[in-house]
Chain A
């Protein structure tokens, strides 16, 4: 049922927005040590990176980004978006990417979750976007398709994207977290499921994995908020690119899964302070979601890059006048596709 993928087909990409990665890397060592790792330092981070020994890795910093994409494009990779540079320069088929304030989580039995292995399982077993299976992932051990699931749909489609979740500090927006200051996510939902075709989802960039060769062009740091900062409460770029990914996957008959694996997200930041910055993003979603819901891609869009171009053009046309942010996002998407063609390996 599953594709076999080798360790050397995988890159782990970490966007370093903190300089001291010692405990992060050490905690993840059991899961990461087999793989090649790309660390991209936020070009605006002043301090030197501290990375422990014993990993097979490449580190990219401001001058590397400059060299590859030119200083005018540098701003695209600021803050959390620095990881996208890693996606661009990776030469592997699969990427697994986790925020640098996340550690391995524990499952209800107390075992450490190997998020890398789970993401790989998600990507190498089929997705089932055309009909909902009430026992969730039918390819997991101990489960199957239920009565009433059409047989012709049981081989599924390729899974191009895997969205993981977070224990402790969940990925709520600033108003929600500010209101429920003490709420922490302690519910471990033991399921992976395919997000149905036609259904949109806010893909959080905190804990993701994807087939770079297939969906790389859609993972684009395009929607940058004016007050974008170094807390997830202050960004929307992952949500925007996630919607692009989903729309493209739906169009091309590819799957997106959500659920396991969990990572443990450390408490940091002040949602009320972030609220002053992220309120802008919250308002924008009111435009963004109906836009993506109404997009229809043409039959000529046969690759993810084609889809991204069409989404960009539609964004410029339909949202450009609402807020200059969208016009900039559209341009960033088109630039990204060109960048991908020249630097990325398509």
Chain B
């Protein structure tokens, strides 16, 4: 049975890697009590709290954390009319945090995710593992059967071409969850008691050309390399769909990473996911997505970006164009979404004026 680590078990690392280069973005509607458990690992870092829901409510942040907090009023004030691209009443609003950050790296985590234990009982410093994943290369062009070759105790296997062993820069590190797995509503309804107790001790690069379902619960990325692709779409209040925010961002991100020669890793670290959301509520949110996905996936699988799209912005604007062209016929929602994708880029550029000219794959 998976259990979370207790607060006293989590020991702070001797060195907080990248503490001035990484922001932790947390969307919340309730409270941030969970931070208490993460304190030894998170305290050295700056937090960006994106408060969803009622802006008149005060969210209490535990003492000792360095943070900035934005509620809906702040988002509206900062973005003006462009605030329309940021979802309301859905954790998709977290992407506002990515936009407003000034750091090179982002780690985002849900407020119902606690510290997990590895099989030896040790508390897992998820942030440290994400950083290791992001700071070591990815290998998307040829599959290594021993998984991440840059991990201690591993390496490339026989037959792996030497010319591919330098790898490419890692743009995304996708972590996993023990206890409540990230299932869709139908699966939750059929298997309400299933818990993920399997600790798979691997990090691996998702091969080029392969799509995956990116979960935003435990995710880190190089904001400089891929930030503009991490738009979590139009979800929640007034939208016909929910629980596809991270999925949408993940498909856009993967297509762009494949195009620009950047890597996406998945696997460790695990966090302990404590709260099972209501499957009936989820079903209503996901319902249209389940059908639309059957059109969306082939769209992304076949999406081709022209050679002159050499920056993330250009790629993203081009994708938005293709979404409008090819997915509007599925539902008018995609027309709105395509427009929102463009608004997102405009808003990003406005808040990050020097970011507009970052060339592909070159981290500063």
Contacts and interface: CB of A to CB of B under 8 A. Distances in A.
A68 interface: no
B277 to A, nearest CB: 10
Contacts of B194: 142, 144
A147 B183 contact: yes
Interface in A224-249: 232-233, 236, 239, 242
B357 interface: no
Given A180-B155, A202-B157, A146 B213 contact: yes
Contacts of A236: 159
B34 interface: no
Nearest to A256: B143
B294 interface: yes
A111 interface: no
B188 to A, nearest CB: 9
A243 to B, nearest CB: 8
Interface residues of A, number: 57
A204 B157 contact: yes
Given A146-B183, A200-B142, A200-B143, A131 B157 contact: no
Contacts of A242: 159
Nearest to A206: B158
B266 to A, nearest CB: 5
Contacts of B146: 165, 170, 185
Interface in A299-334: none
B304 interface: no
A328 to B, nearest CB: 19
Nearest to B162: A282
Contacts of B212: 131-134
Interface residues of B, number: 58
B178 to A, nearest CB: 11
Given A145-B187, A147-B247, A183-B153, A132 B210 contact: yes
A153 B119 CA distance: 32
B158 A204 contact: yes
Contacts of A195: 143
B144 to A, nearest CB: 8
Given A143-B196, A204-B145, A204-B159, A191 B202 contact: yes
A134 B269 CA distance: 13
B160 interface: yes
Contact of B162 (A187, A232, A286): A286
B329 to A, nearest CB: 19
Interface stretch (A28-36, A72-80, A171-179): A171-179
A204 B159 CA distance: 8
Contact of B201 (A190, A201, A288): A190
B290 interface: yes
Interface string B133-167: 00000000111111100000111111111111000
B122 to A, nearest CB: 14
B237 interface: no
B157 A146 contact: no
20 contacts: A131-B212, A134-B266, A142-B197, A144-B194, A146-B182, A171-B157, A171-B158, A173-B158, A183-B153, A186-B153, A187-B154, A191-B202, A200-B143, A202-B158, A202-B160, A204-B157, A242-B159, A285-B160, A285-B161, A286-B163
Which 10 residue pairs are nearest across A and B when measured between Cβ atoms?
A: A148-B213, A202-B159, A199-B207, A239-B159, A196-B210, A132-B212, A173-B158, A147-B184, A201-B143, A148-B247
